[in-house]
């Protein structure tokens, strides 16, 4: 019975390799896309250094919606950061999964003396983890900078809002 369960788990885990690799690749391309979006946002923010102009997502939202509560702005800012935050956290996990799945066939190939099989599986394992970590690094950096930007926009908006109330 134990051997059956082990074999079943081995076969099922191998089924997940291809979908996980596709997902890692999709997240990598998403991080590249976000790099372009971020670069555009940096350019627009530098060009339009005044608030209430393009590139200031939270401040513009607050002005357009006439927000009076800082908590609402924080919720909006977190929603704008959600996708890159999730990618930052999920990509390394998928990289670990994509590293571990080929290790079984690599060890099996090693026990059979098939060095080429070991090499092929290790290439997949290490490539997956490299793509995953690059993806997480890119999205982490973008998210960290945007958090600082959005916090500053919230602070600036709330200061202006408070000043208007107490005039």
Tens place of pLDDT per residue across the chain (167 aa): 888 888 888 888 889 999 999 999 999 999 999 999 999 999 998 888 766 667 789 988 998 898 888 899 999 999 999 999 999 999 999 999 999 999 988 988 889 998 998 999 999 999 999 999 999 999 999 999 999 999 999 998 888 877 766 55
Residue 69 falls inside a structural domain: yes
Q: Which domain holds residue 107?
A: 17-165
Residue 88 falls inside a structural domain: yes
Residue 131: which residues within 8 A CB-CB, separation 6 or more?
Answer: 24, 25, 28, 95
**What's the whole-model pTM score?**
0.86
* Alpha-carbon gap, residue 95 to 34, rounded angstroms: 19
* Alpha-carbon gap, residue 37 to 53, rounded angstroms: 17
Residue 56 falls inside a structural domain: yes
SS3 63: helix
Residue 3 falls inside a structural domain: no
């Amino acid at each position: 019975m134990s051997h059956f369960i082990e074999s079943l788990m081995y076969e099922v885990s191998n089924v997940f390799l291809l979908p996980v690799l596709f997902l890692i690749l999709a997240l990598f391309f998403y991080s590249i896309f976000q790099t372009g979006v971020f670069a555009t946002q940096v350019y627009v923010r530098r060009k339009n250094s005044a608030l209430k102009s393009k590139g200031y997502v939270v401040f513009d939202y607050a002005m357009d919606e006439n927000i009076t509560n800082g908590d609402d702005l924080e919720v909006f800012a977190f929603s704008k950061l959600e996708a890159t935050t999730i990618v930052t956290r999920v990509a390394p996990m998928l990289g670990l999964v994509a590293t571990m799945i080929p290790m079984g066939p690599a060890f099996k190939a090693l026990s059979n003396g098939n060095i080429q099989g070991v090499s092929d599986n290790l290439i997949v394992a290490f490539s997956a983890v490299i793509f995953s970590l690059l993806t997480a690094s890119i999205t982490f950096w973008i998210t960290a900078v945007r958090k600082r930007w959005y916090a500053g926009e919230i602070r600036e908006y709330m200061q202006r809002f408070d000043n208007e109330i107490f005039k």
